[in-house]
Amino acid sequence: MLVGAGSLVVLAAGAAAAGWWLLAGIGLAGALAWLAAGLPPAGGRLAVGTRAAARIGLLPLFGSAFAAYVVPGAPPWIAGVVVAVLVLAQAAGLRPSAFTARWITGLLLVVGLALIALCLAVPPVAQAQPGQHQGPAGVLLAAVVVVPLLVRPGSAEPSRWWPAAPVAALLALAAAALYQLGPFRLGLSATSLRDLLAAADAPALATMLAAVAAVATVSAGLTALSSAQEEAGRWPVLGGGLVAALLATVLDPFQALRIAAVLALVELFAAVVLGRSVSTARGAVVVISSGILLIMLGTVWP
């Protein structure tokens, strides 16, 4: 669900930064997520805090994506209201069950396949003038924006194949969107996935996309909050969630994604250092990679 909700904004941000190199960036982020998932869990309050902060840091992204897709043209405070409602609902005990999560994941998969089929069935639109992408260096920028959707360092239940499925889904959707719109148009705005429907002569499906965006962002937000509460407890997450609601009122989707990326990379860095895994090959690669991506995020991302 996190991948489905985040892709509403991530693909546009990645295309704006890297063009077609977005595909390589997704692969790089997937490799980093796979390495991080095999790290031993880090204990201590600081490690718990970074994990909870990374989950809470996704809320402004989901809130702003909800506002952009479901209520186009709405004032910025709508995103903050969405996040505040999610925080209070989760504090009251509302969270998706495993059964509901599977159904929502299946729905998002079906919608993603439908979008891909639509993109491939209709000839691509005339390509607009190319943007000034970073070229191969854009791979790192693209990886930065994808990392928040994939990383699960030191997971208590590591999967041998994580994150093969979400990476494959992101690659397929990104390739179809780039084919249909081109890198320039895909990266023009945070809601460029909505432009896919217009480009494919299916504007009537915009309402369906808005409904799917609402389901995806709400369920992903509740899931992120639930995960954060398991780490840090109810009251710290309630306070952090309300801070996230305030941030959502002043951040656009791309800015919110930047905050989420910073917190995800800090979580990765802390997982290695606090888990004392720096001396291992896996830990060394993760800590060096996360450090490089943090530097890229602070110095290169426009």
Task: Quickly state the pLDDT bin for 203 (edges 50, 70, 90).
Answer: low
Average pLDDT of the residues of the chain = 90
pLDDT band (50, 70, 90) for residue 298: confident
Least confident of 34-43, 59-68, 154-163, 204-213: 154-163
- CATH code (residue 102): 1.20.1740.10
Quick check: 191 pLDDT over 80? yes
Average pLDDT over residues 279-288: 95
Least confident of 50-59, 176-185, 199-208, 216-225: 199-208
The answer to whether the CB of 112 falls within 8 A of the CB of 4 is: yes
Number of domains present in the structure of the chain: 1
What does the alpha-carbon distance between residue 244 and residue 215 come to, in Å, rounded to a whole number?
20
pLDDT at position 153: 66
Question: In this predicted structure, what is the pLDDT of residue 148?
Answer: 95
- pLDDT value of position 280: 94
User: Taking CA 294 as the corner, what is the angle to CA 59 and CA 249, rounded to the nearest 5 degrees?
Assistant: 25
- B/e letters for 7-20, b = 16+ CB within 10 Å, e = fewer, are bbbbbbbbbbbbbb
Q: What is the pTM of this model?
A: 0.94
Average pLDDT in the 236-241 region? 97
Per cent of the chain over pLDDT 90 is 69
User: Does residue 206 register a pLDDT over 80?
Assistant: yes
- Structural domain that includes position 281: 2-299
List pLDDT tens digits, range 157-175: 556 678 999 999 999 999 9
